[in-house]
Amino acid sequence: MPLDETVLVMPVDAYVDLRFFEYFPQVDEAVQANDDALHLIGVTPLHPTSKYGYIVPDETAQMSSVRIFQEKPTVDVAEQLIGQGALWNCGIFACKLHLLLDELAERNLPTTYSDLTSRYDELEKTSFDYAVVEHAESVFVHRYDGDWKDLGTWNTLTEEMTSTTHGQVELFESTNTHVINELNLPLIGIGLEDLVVAVNADGILVSKKEATPQLKDYLASSDDYPKFKWKRWGQSEVIHHETLADGHHSVTRRMLVQAGKELSYHYHEETDTIWTILQGTAIVTIDGESFEVRPTNAISIQRGKAHMLKASETVILIEVQYSLKYMNNDTQFLISPYK
């Protein structure tokens, strides 16, 4: 990819109409015209709120240089900022690729995939806004006047739900309450008011609606990893984790691999693995040797053995991992033999 190409990064939780994306070509043009500048998109606020960050532009023009940033102020401060012409920060930034790489190199941060994977655990947990955007010398904001909403909190998400419940839920004598149940268990709510209840493999949340933006503050120091993950090949869910009497760890996952997709070719240095196929057919490769697997087949994979799975049909499998040390990063990726 040429170093003068435009890179545009946006969050996945924006709730917008398609007109919002029509702004992207003009942002691209502005990036190409300003070699060393960062470009953002800001939304004209509908009301003062503490849910979003704010950008105060120098001018009221459609594109303006940025005067100041303010991250999630109080409602009173937000009202003052709006009086100064502030925009909601969409969390979108665009720049030329070389500028992004230069910023990473200046901070001695990884610029290649292999370097990133080897150093990932030691990297500081911070946002691009804090680390780069708010300290950049040349930043422009593009004004968007249409509908936009960030669904980054449970409270905001419930505002767009078409039903007050999701999953196996029954509510009785409850008002202004939303319940999301992603487990295969019945949930009954009685006499609930102004609450969000979310239940999934990662845990249970019960919160007053207006308090849900504080959730990430309580989770900031947590080392827990997501039990359920959407993957490029399907989905994975930890259904059991146990520390055994001899100190070994056992982790059991239910995995769904979509037809035509494949698990990456990889090996584990400290972990033994067993795959049990429940649905579908696939080609399994272990240390370069391939064979077909079907429902009820069990495949034992010793630590150090490179392995992968390519689904001929949509596959459901149970993976059991067994190791002396419980590590989330005991995976070494290799080049797929199918490439």
Fold of the 6-150 domain: Spore Coat Polysaccharide Biosynthesis Protein SpsA; Chain A (3.90.550)
Tell the CATH superfamily of the 228-333 domain: Jelly Rolls (2.60.120.10)
Regions of the chain with pLDDT less than 70: 223, 327-329, 338-339
pLDDT at 327: 67
Which string of DSSP letters, residue by residue, matches 135-192? G-S-EEEEEE-S-EEE--SHHHHHHT-SSSEESSEEEES-BS-EEEE-SSS-EEEES-
Q: Where in the chain is CATH 2.60.120.10?
A: 228-333
HSE-up of 225 (CA within 13 Å, CB side)? 11
pLDDT at 308: 96
Q: Sign of the C-alpha dihedral, residues 19, 21, 27, 28? A: negative
Closest CA relative to residue 9, chosen from 27, 26, 29: 27
CA distance 158 to 197: 11
Closest CA relative to residue 200, chosen from 161, 248, 163, 154: 154
CA distance 142 to 63: 5
- 3-class secondary-structure state, position 133: helix
The span from the first CA to the last CA of the chain, in angstroms, equals 20
Write out the two tokens for 338. Answer: 């199918």
- 3-class secondary-structure state, position 201: coil
Q: Where in the chain is CATH 3.90.550.10?
A: 6-150
pLDDT at 302: 96
CB 8 within 8 Å of CB 24: yes
337 Cβ neighbours under 8 A, 6+ residues apart: 265, 285, 288, 290, 308
pLDDT at 323: 93
CA distance 194 to 216: 20
Strand residues in 193-263 grouped as ranges (E): 195-200, 203-208, 228-231, 234-243, 249-257
